Structure 1
Amino acid sequence: MNISHIEHIGIAVNSLEEAIPFYEEKLGLKCYSVEEVTDQKVKTAFFMVGQTKIELLESTDPEGPIGKFIEKKGQGIHHLAFAVDDVNQSLAELEEKEVRLIDKSARKGAEGLNIGFLHPKSTMGVLTEICGKE
């Protein structure tokens, strides 16, 4: 597995409508994309900071993963995502190394990327995503 960089940091928010102005008006960043990922029950907004993105995540269903996260922990950092060359190969390699996986194979995420999550119990409590174009 070859991790090239931090792809994005996912931040759970109650409302994109309320959060986007903070990042734009207070921090001077520009939201370049808002997208709904229906199968994950989430709307996303993206900002570039160097080569790393900030992904704001708003739940579209209280029973979805972000809705449950916010109910349990409140708004805040949800996950850290690393860019890899091949998500499926990386997941298989991590499983061989006895890393507990949430996803055994890649699925589609925002921005057309393939994604897979590692269980926080294997990553010192940090929900970790690996993502890539392959």
Structure 2
Amino acid sequence: MNYEVDHIGIAVRSIEDALPFYINVLKGTLEDQYTSDVPGVEVHVAVVQTHGQTFELLEPTNRESPIARFIRQKGKGVHHIAYRVEDLDQAIQDARDKGIRFLEDTLRTNARGRRLIYLNPASTEGTLFELCSYPGD
């Protein structure tokens, strides 16, 4: 199974305030913006491309969303690192076979059609990782 960095999720209080750094300093381009109202997600997302790298700026849409809780506990900054895999179901099984645990309630398909799940940070020395795949991969 190949693992390729897909994007880095950055928790921000305000996408509007954060975007100028990514656009003006890093010379990125805003590729997409969308909102997820899925219970347990509740986030505005801005997808920024910078020289072949993708950042997702994550702004909470309510005080109880996971991103809002993250910002309260750890502050703004890197929320997760996402790895793209060819077959998400196989990647999940391979990781489970190695003793990796998942945040089971995070398995979903997002607004851009990406299937994803987060690994339990207890299995990764505290770092939140996402595994994802796209339709047609």
The answer, yes or no, to whether TM exceeds 0.5 is yes
Structure 1 residues 110, 10: closer, same or farther in 2, change over 3 A?
farther
User: Is 1:64 aligned with 2:92?
Assistant: no
Structure 1 residues 110, 56: closer, same or farther in 2, change over 3 A?
farther
How many residues get paired?
A: 133
Over residues 52-102 of structure 1, what are the superposed CA-to-partner deviations in whole Å (9 max), with x where a residue is unaligned?
A: 311100000110100000011110000000000111221122112110111
What is the TM-score normalised by the length of structure 1? 0.91
Name whichever structure is richer in helix by fraction.
1
RMSD across aligned positions (CA)? 1.6
Q: Which runs of 5+ in 2 are unaligned?
A: none
Q: How far has the Cα of 1:37 moved from its partner?
A: 1.4
What is the TM-score normalised by the length of structure 2? 0.89
Q: How far has the Cα of 1:105 moved from its partner?
A: 7.9
- Helix, strand or coil for the counterpart of 1:116? strand
Is the 2:8–2:82 contact (alpha carbons within 8 Å) kept by the matching residues of 1? Answer: yes
Over residues 20-74 of structure 1, what are the superposed CA-to-partner deviations in whole Å (9 max), with x where a residue is unaligned?
A: 1221122221111111111110111111134431110000011010000001111
Q: How far has the Cα of 1:104 moved from its partner?
A: 7.2
- Specify the alignment match of 1:29 in structure 2: 28
Is the 1:91–1:104 contact (alpha carbons within 8 Å) kept by the matching residues of 2? Answer: no
User: Is 1:13 aligned with 2:12?
Assistant: yes
Which amino acid counterpart does residue 82 of structure 1 have in structure 2? Answer: Y
